[in-house]
Structure 1
């Protein structure tokens, strides 16, 4: 496995906030490259238990390889390919009714952006796929070639908050009338024709983000996953979430404040989100937009 598979964001902060009982049960709902998972596992005692989840089979396989050469006190771990929205079924089927800590890192991993070949980044010429889970049916190609102009507009506006959503949606429909969109280069070319150079980079990031969110149903999955996670927290158990854009952060903040609509009562440990230092951003530019929030389940 490559050393640069994924640089974990705010890793020391995550572990300090999350792992309050070295003998406890902890869940990483977004394994990614395994950096946070390794740090959490390394903090646990031989009586601890760790469960890692990711939708991406490549991520799960790579973390299994990474863990196979680790020398940690805790050897009681399991890595599972699944959506974190299924966390309740996953844990209950393993006899786990409550956990001491649950972690979500909502960013797309460096591997997925740079090496997956699935079209997550506008920087590479790749097929328009964008599926986190290759078993899923809907691809970015199918979405962009079949959705009508109004639906594409709504996706770009809602999930990307893109100022040129109307113009880009119109251009997508116009171009595909002659030939279907097949690659990230096709989509990038449309954005380039629709947006001035001043806003191009931000628009590309927003458009690719919006399509990825729609293909993977990310915001609904996030809402379901955090609600289930809150239900699974033991008294004094903690939930830590790192988000990377305002859509995610608003959902996290709302669910923490309302207890996810459950009878469970949470209190915010982080009154304001924790963000990376300038030094961390310099070492890992993808950490720039990260916001970490942590809440604890009250004993009563």
Structure 2
């Protein structure tokens, strides 16, 4: 089995490539490099003058770097997109791809603390250098803060009582491992729904630890300046909070509220939405790769100034 498959099976690969509408001489950015599955396919469509720049904050992703003069891997979070492209001498690009899912590799690496399948220290940091990890969230956040992240990020029905239980439990013993957390919250798990409930709790913690929604908003905001006219923005999300941000931004150029209008009543927005409805994986792909089940792909094109 090759390393890419071990690391991460790229979701909706051909749909992503088609969505980018690749110009062989263009400059493209894969802001979530991971195992390099999408990047390797993009490179195949580039000519000698084409260029691909990838971002990934996970140190493990470096092992998958593509050995090609047209390829550059930047070891940073995509929230720093604009600044790091400038450092590479790039002001504008022809297309940007973002696959917002956690890679299979990160779930399968037991010591990273992402997975409910293994007992490990509660870490969940994508970059492995941040001061904030899942243990610190559980140990130091107030009951109100925990209630907020479990309710908003995990969409957990009993988020308030869950937060109270954690705050009470940590008075006697710090919650440090996956199994310790599962034991503390066991009474809140609906019967027969262990996997789903634990996944929601872990999702909420992961989003908070990595400030994922803030990073996504910062990244999306920068794409309006970074993309050339008619450049494509292609984003694949895996839960409703991300998808709502992406959908609103592509449609309005902002995350909430109505589209702004000029003096004459014309809408002022940076993108034309290419995918009116989110594109989802085929049933065949879902059978092959369960991670594709919740993926939603959205596509937008940077508008011409004249439009």
Task: State if a TM-score over 0.5 links the two structures.
Answer: yes
Does 2:163 correspond to 1:169? yes
Does the 8 Å contact 1:164/1:195 carry over to 2? no
Shift of 1:76: 1.3
In 2: Cα distance, 1:149 partner to 1:252 partner: 30
Does 2:114 correspond to 1:120? yes
Shift of 1:264: 5.9
Partner of residue 48 from structure 2, selected from 46, 49, 66: 46
Shift of 1:171: 1.4
TM-score, normalisation: structure 2:
0.91
TM-score, normalisation: structure 1:
0.93
In 1: Cα distance, 2:40 partner to 2:118 partner: 29
Shift of 1:8: 0.2
Q: Which residue number in structure 1 is paired with residue 236 of structure 2?
A: 242
Partner of residue 82 from structure 1, selected from 60, 66, 76: 76
SS at match of 1:240: strand
Unmatched tracts of structure 2, length 5 or more? 261-267
Does 2:288 correspond to 1:283? yes
SS at match of 1:198: coil
Q: Which residue number in structure 2 is paired with residue 71 of structure 1?
A: none
Does the 8 Å contact 1:230/1:260 carry over to 2? no
Query: Pairwise CA RMSD of aligned residues?
Result: 1.6
Does the 8 Å contact 2:251/2:269 carry over to 1? no
Does the 8 Å contact 1:50/1:78 carry over to 2? yes
SS at match of 1:156: helix
Does the 8 Å contact 1:153/1:166 carry over to 2? yes
In 2: Cα distance, 1:260 partner to 1:42 partner: 34
Shift of 1:199: 3.0
Shift of 1:78: 0.5
Q: Which residue number in structure 1 is paired with residue 63 of structure 2?
A: 62
Q: Which residue number in structure 2 is paired with residue 99 of structure 1?
A: 93
Q: Which residue number in structure 2 is paired with residue 197 of structure 1?
A: 191
Partner of residue 299 from structure 2, selected from 273, 294, 297: 294
Q: Where do 4+ consecutive residues of structure 1 move more than 3 Å? A: 260-264
Unmatched tracts of structure 1, length 5 or more? 69-73
Q: Which residue number in structure 2 is paired with residue 26 of structure 1?
A: 28
